[in-house]
Chain A
């Protein structure tokens, strides 16, 4: 399992791995929004939580189809499925590798972009906390979607349609955390609810994703 994680991280960091893709998209989106909306500080500050969360979510979506599709194309997924590893474990490790190369860099970059979007300082720690708690759910739900569409050539559209509705609760609670913190309210409740979604997704979806993979490999 650790070998698989190491291999996936190594593949992501080497050329063609798409490591910078999500990060670059997130950065460009958050740079373009002030240019589009105009240099009005209060307006930017008000939309910042939503923009940051939508940006993180779409950035995450960009790299989802790589989770299983690359391994399916070159036959490695067949070999992993017949290797003496539980397929559920393979799913968890691949989701973890996706989070480490996509979610975690987004969390690290978010405070800088929060400053650029004039997010109140009081909300900055909560932005990081909400992304930290919410992005694991994005990776695991995405791994489930990728497992469902692994047999589909160019299944990106189908994957987005399947996964985006499942991302809505994380988006609502995540953005609500930042909005409440920016408005001086207590952000603990939506943060806990977002954490509950992540915990539930991590606990349940690897089994569903492994079942979907088994059917798709037939």
Chain B
């Protein structure tokens, strides 16, 4: 697997935030996105995930192979931990046993039957991240994955990401903290910021302003 992103531009709310971004992502590789608040990390990840079209360039078919984990975990409070994961496993077509593996990998064994509404923020986050392990798609797009995780859970997450990369997966991680697999490339989005006033081509709200 090798995904080539070429000359990508993306916009948020009709304003271009990133322009002329190019990189390659191959199996086993990880990319760390850095940049100050508002530099377009989330916008870039949402564009790569296919949630919004790029304003320019080519995402190299990333959307078909990528699984997105954003700020919101998509966890249903009324469902138990196992039910939440089981639902995604069924929707995403996970292989048998993936749910148990995901529960074990993030240390959720004792919480299996607990409604997700009763989980702490960190436990909820771990449940949201466990969804990655029931998704067969190879590229993980992680937006601030360490938010509300304690040091031990961050270590767990790093281990999970390292195993994913070793198994031939890939990851693009937007993060402020130092966490990240060793040997990951760093892309500083500050260097790819769009010039102010640069109009995004073909944007939906181009006509209205």
Contacts and interface: CB of A to CB of B under 8 A. Distances in A.
B50 interface: yes
Given A75-B73, A82-B50, A82-B66, A7 B79 contact: yes
B74 A14 contact: no
A215 B87 contact: no
Contact of B78 (A4, A6, A16, A85): A16
Interface string A71-91: 101111111111111000000
Band of interface residues on B: 20 to 34
B74 A76 contact: yes
B192 to A, nearest CB: 20
Interface in B55-80: 63, 66-68, 70-79
A172 interface: no
Interface in B126-151: 131, 137
A82 B72 CA distance: 14
A11 interface: yes
A218 B204 contact: yes
B117 to A, nearest CB: 9
Interface stretch (B89-97, B160-168, B182-190): B89-97
Given A74-B72, A74-B74, A79-B68, A84 B92 contact: yes
A3 interface: yes
A81 to B, nearest CB: 6
A82 B51 CA distance: 7
B87 A3 contact: yes
B52 interface: yes
B79 A82 contact: no
Contact of B92 (A14, A77, A83, A218): A83
Contact of B68 (A14, A73, A78): A78
A74 B73 contact: yes
B171 to A, nearest CB: 16
Interface majority SS on A: helix, strand, loop or mixed?
Answer: helix
Question: How extensive is the interface on chain A, given as a class?
Answer: 20 to 34
B104 to A, nearest CB: 22
B44 interface: no
Nearest to A218: B52
A127 to B, nearest CB: 34
Contacts of A73: 72
A210 B4 CA distance: 29
B78 to A, nearest CB: 4
B83 interface: yes
B73 A78 contact: no
B72 A85 contact: no
Contacts of A85: 91
Contacts of B51: 78, 81-82, 217-218
B32 interface: no
B197 to A, nearest CB: 21
Contact of B76 (A7, A83, A84): A7
Contacts of B63: 82
B91 A3 contact: yes
A80 B87 CA distance: 11
B40 to A, nearest CB: 14
Closest 5 CB pairs of A and B: A75-B72, A3-B90, A76-B74, A218-B52, A14-B78
12 contacts: A2-B90, A7-B87, A11-B76, A11-B79, A73-B72, A74-B75, A76-B75, A78-B51, A78-B72, A82-B68, A83-B92, A84-B137
Interface of B: 46, 49-53, 63, 66-68, 70-79, 83, 87-88, 90-93, 131, 137, 204
Given A78-B70, A80-B91, A82-B67, 17 more contacts: A2-B90, A3-B90, A3-B91, A4-B87, A6-B87, A7-B79, A16-B78, A73-B72, A74-B72, A75-B72, A75-B73, A75-B74, A76-B74, A78-B51, A79-B68, A79-B88, A82-B50
